[in-house]
Amino acid sequence: MTAAAGGAGGRPELDGLARLVALDLDGTLLTYAGDLRAPVRDAVAAVHAAGHHVVLATGRSLHATVPVAQELGIDRGFAVCSNGSVTVRLDPALPGGYELDEVVTFDPGPALRLMAREFPDAYLAVEEVGVGFRMNKLFPEGELSGRHEVVDLDDLVSRHVTRLVVRSPGHTSQEFHDLVARCGLADVTYAIGWTAWMDVAPEGVTKASALERVRGLLDVAPTRTVAIGDGSNDVAMLRWAARGVAMGHAEVPVREAADEVTGTVDEDGAAAVLHSIVAADVG
C-alpha cells in the first residue's frame, strides 16, 4: 500500500535544497548497548530542525524503529525498516504515529528449509509487521523485540513475509557465507552480520532500494543524499548516497563502499557528519 509523501517540515529557504539524510541505527546512532548518546541525539535534532529529511534506515523491525524515531523527535516523514522491506510514513496525527507506505514480501520457504537442513539447531524467525515474530524456538533474550510466537516449520513457511532471520550461535558468519556460495539463495536478498546471524529479504530489496523510492517521493535530487552506516546491510545504501559515510569501527568492505569514514560509535562519529551537514547550509 502506498501513501502520499510527507513534507520536510523545514525552513522555506531550504525548498528544493533539502537533503535526504539516511541514518542506520544500531552501531551508528545507537551504541551496541542500545543507548542514544546526547551528542548524537542533538546532532540529529539539528539536521531535522534545519529542514532536511532525516530518514531512519535500519534492519530493525517497524515496532522497534518507531520508538527510536520518537525519542529522536522525528515525528514526520519516512522511515525504512527491515532492511528495506517495510517503509512507513510518520505523522503524529495517525494512530501509533505512522502508517504503512510500502510492504514488500517474499516466500521464505526455500531459504528457510535450506537453513533448517544445513543448520538443524538454528533459531529461525519470520517477521510479523508491526507486531513481532513467529519462530521455531525462543531466541536468546533481547535479540528480537515485539511479540514472540513459537510455531512449527510448516507454519513458518505458510505465508509470504517481509523478513526471515536465521541465528546459529554454533556457527561462524564465514560458515554462513560459505553456505550461500555453495548452495546459493535464489529470489532473495541476504545480509550476514558479524556473528552467525543472517537477515533474508525479498529479492532486490535493500535499504538503498527503499531509499531511492523515498527520494523520488520527496523530490530530492540524487546529489543531495547522505547516508551513514556501519554494517554489511549498509553497503548498498552507502554506495547509493552521493555522500556515503562509514562508521570508523565498520569492517573493511563497508568502509571501502563509502566515500569517507568518520569516528566510531563510541566517538559519536555520526554526530560529526551531521554537524557538517548543518554547517554546509550556512558555509
Please write the tens of the pLDDT for every residue from 4-15.
Answer: 333 333 343 465
Average pLDDT over residues 255-264: 98
Q: What is the mean pLDDT of the chain?
A: 90
Q: How far apart are CA 255 and CA 135, in angstroms?
A: 33
pLDDT at 2 over 50: no
Residue 5 has what pLDDT?
34
Residue 36 has what pLDDT?
97
- Three-state secondary structure readout of 19-64: CEEEECCECCCECCCCCECHHHHHHHHHHHHCCCEEEEECCCCHHH
Average pLDDT over residues 125-149: 94
Residue 260 has what pLDDT?
98
Q: Can you list the domains of the chain with their CATH numbers? A: 12-104+205-282 (3.40.50.1000), 109-202 (3.30.1240.10)
Residue 1 has what pLDDT?
32
Residue 9 has what pLDDT?
39
pLDDT band for position 84 (cuts 50, 70, 90): very high
Tell me the β-bridge partners of 28.
none
Tell me the per-residue pLDDT of 66-80, one tens digit each, with 9 for 90 and over.
Answer: 999 999 999 999 999
Residue 237: all three cell numbers together? 545504501
Q: How far apart are CA 220 and CA 214, in angstroms?
A: 9
Which of 283, 199, 268 has its CA nearest to residue 234?
199
Which residues 6+ apart lie within 8 Å of 241 measured at CB?
Answer: 22, 225, 226, 227, 259
Q: How far apart are CA 86 and CA 141, in angstroms?
A: 24
Residue 187 has what pLDDT?
63
Residue 244 has what pLDDT?
98
Q: How far apart are CA 30 and CA 21, in angstroms?
A: 16
Tell me the per-residue pLDDT of 210-258, one tens digit each, with 9 for 90 and over.
Answer: 999 999 999 999 999 999 999 999 999 999 999 999 999 999 999 999 9
Half-sphere exposure of 200 (CA within 13 A, CB side): 27
Tell me the per-residue pLDDT of 138-181, one tens digit each, with 9 for 90 and over.
Answer: 998 888 999 999 999 999 999 999 999 999 887 777 777 787 77
